[in-house]
Amino acid sequence: MNTITICCKLQTNEIQEELLLENSTLFAKACNIALAYRSPKQTRFSLHKACYQCIRKETGIKANYACQAIARVVASKRAKAFSARSFVCDVRTFSVLGNSVRISVHTGKPIQVPMLLGEYQRKHLQGDKPSSATVHRQNGSWYINICIKKEVVKKEAGIDFGVDVGIANVAYTSSGTAFCGKALWAKKAQFRRVRASLQSKRTRGAKKVLRRLSGKERRYIRAEIHKISKAIVAEAERHTAKNIRLELLKGISQRVSIPNKHTSRMGRAWSFYELQSFVKYKAEAIGMSVEFVDPAYTSQSCHQCLLENRLTLGSRSGIRFCCPIHGKKHADHNAAQNISLGLQLKKLYPSELAKAGKEGGANCNCARKVARKSRFKAHAL
């Protein structure tokens, strides 16, 4: 079962806008009441028992909205207060009727609001029954995010597809497709220069421009990540893949130190987690599974040697990887092919290399020094 979210713009009139705003205000009030009753180890059911009657008495909202408010408070563990920006509906408080949606409000009588739909929205809303929705306000307009559960047939046959992420190449697949990051980094540098220039002026006009540009870079990068992740999943589907393997990069910034300040800033500025999460949900939507593997030694081992049941440490210089047996090849392509194998290379290498490499990875100088001392000796598996 896969859940997708469809965002639709509501074409509201003045009366409907006022009713939705009042409903969201009461919903926020219900959340703040539940927040006052919440304790660290409290469950949804115990919180419901403690504050449900109080919420109904003080706000007068429907029972379903009271339950959803309690659920939101339990899910938002770090929240200190809730504002009147949105409210959550379940199947009893909203329904989709063609090109419009019927929403229950605090007055008792539901309102029917037209939706601005495109082909994508119509395709997913047709024939599928929504499970829940969130109505929210953004930039003066009202939107509804409709959640739909779809049955997905999992792929049983196919190949394992590896994806290596980096800075020069945002992603490199085991099939040999590269997604260059040069244009992205140039755009980020442009945003940084404009931001620095405006911040140095400290004038009212400069602050006004900064507010207007706020979030523009984030939206641009997010849109590009969507395009790249979509292309990666399409490439995997074209090669009849059943499984996509990605690097497990949790805590990589703490484990790997980069002496170059510019490269370090670039590495920390790029959202590898977001790219991998987009690839994950897009792949699962078409029945592919996603697996995360340890990246240790994937950039230092020769892929062809691994296929021949040998462990060989090579040397890397920029985008070139040199194996003492099979010669030169593209470093990112070699790493992506190693990732596709899904081997725990850290456990396969001899103990002295494992100790020197510690956490492994492309920037591990210790393992390369040991490899040079051993003169690229090939170790049998």
What pLDDT score was predicted for residue 381?
A: 40
**CA pair distance 51, 48, nearest whole angstrom:** 6
CATH number at residue 198: 3.30.420
Question: Is 248 a residue whose pLDDT tops 90?
Answer: no
- CA distance linking residue 310 with residue 293, whole number of Å: 20
Euclidean distance between CA atoms 275 and 227, whole angstroms: 10
Residue 21 and residue 74 in one domain: yes
Q: Are residues 164 and 245 in the same domain?
A: yes
Q: Is the pLDDT of residue 113 over 90?
A: yes
| 139 or 260: which leads in pLDDT | 139
User: Can you tell me the mean pLDDT for 82-101?
Assistant: 91
- pLDDT tier at 256, thresholds 50, 70, 90: low
Q: Is residue 227 part of a domain?
A: yes
Residue 273 sits in the same domain as residue 334: no
| pLDDT at residue 252 is higher than 70 | no
Q: Which of 248, 50, 23, 55 is nearest to 136 (CA)?
A: 23
In 297-359, alpha helices (H) = 303-307, 331-341, 345-348, 351-357
Lowest mean pLDDT across 99-113, 154-168, 308-322: 308-322
Per the domain annotation, does 307 fall within a domain?
yes
pLDDT of residue 155: 86
Average pLDDT of the chain, as a whole number: 83
What is this structure's pTM? 0.74
Ranges 1-10, 118-127, 261-270: which has the least confidence: 261-270
Could you give the angle at which helices 182-201 and 216-238 cross, rounded to 10 degrees? 170
- Answer positive or negative: Cα dihedral of 335, 338, 343, 348: negative
- For residues 247-253, give the mean pLDDT: 76
- Band of the pLDDT at 255, cuts 50, 70, 90? low
Give the DSSP H or E segment for 285. Answer: helix 272-285
Task: Tell me the mean pLDDT in the region 20-24.
Answer: 94
Q: Which of 229, 263, 293 is the endpoint of a domain?
A: 293
327 φψ region: left (φ > 0), alpha (ψ -120 to 50), beta (else): left
CB 236 within 8 A of CB 288: yes
Domain end point (choices 242, 268, 293) = 293
Same domain flag for 261 and 229: yes
> Which pLDDT score is estimated for 143?
95
Q: Give the structural domain span for 122.
A: 2-150
Cα distance from N-terminal residue to C-terminal residue, the chain? 40
**Domain check: are 73 and 23 in the same one?**
yes
Regarding predicted confidence, which is higher, 368 or 140? 140
Does 200 fall in a domain? yes
**3-class SS of residue 360:** coil
Domain count, the chain: 3
Considering the domain architecture, whether residues 78 and 171 belong to the same structural domain is answered as: no
25 and 100 together in one domain: yes
Tell me what percent of the residues of the chain surpass a pLDDT of 90: 40
| Contact yes or no for 342/293 (Cβ under 8 A) | yes
How many residues can be counted in the chain? 381
**Residue 87 bridge partners (DSSP):** 135
Same domain, 137 and 216: no
Best CA proximity match to 50, nearest among 40, 42, 41: 42
Alpha carbon distance 324, 151 (integer Å): 49
The answer, yes or no, to whether residue 259 has pLDDT greater than 80, is: no
Lookup: tokens for 225: 């990540």
Residues 85 and 139 in one domain: yes
- 166 and 187 assigned to the same domain: yes
Instruction: Give the end of a domain, one of 118, 150, 182.
Output: 150
Q: Is residue 298 part of a domain?
A: no
166 and 128 together in one domain: no
Token pair 């399409």 is at which residue?
234
pLDDT in tens, 147-158: 988 888 888 888
Whether 274 and 316 share a structural domain: no
Cα(301)–Cα(131) distance, integer angstroms:
47
* Token pair 């959640």 in the structure block, residue: 147
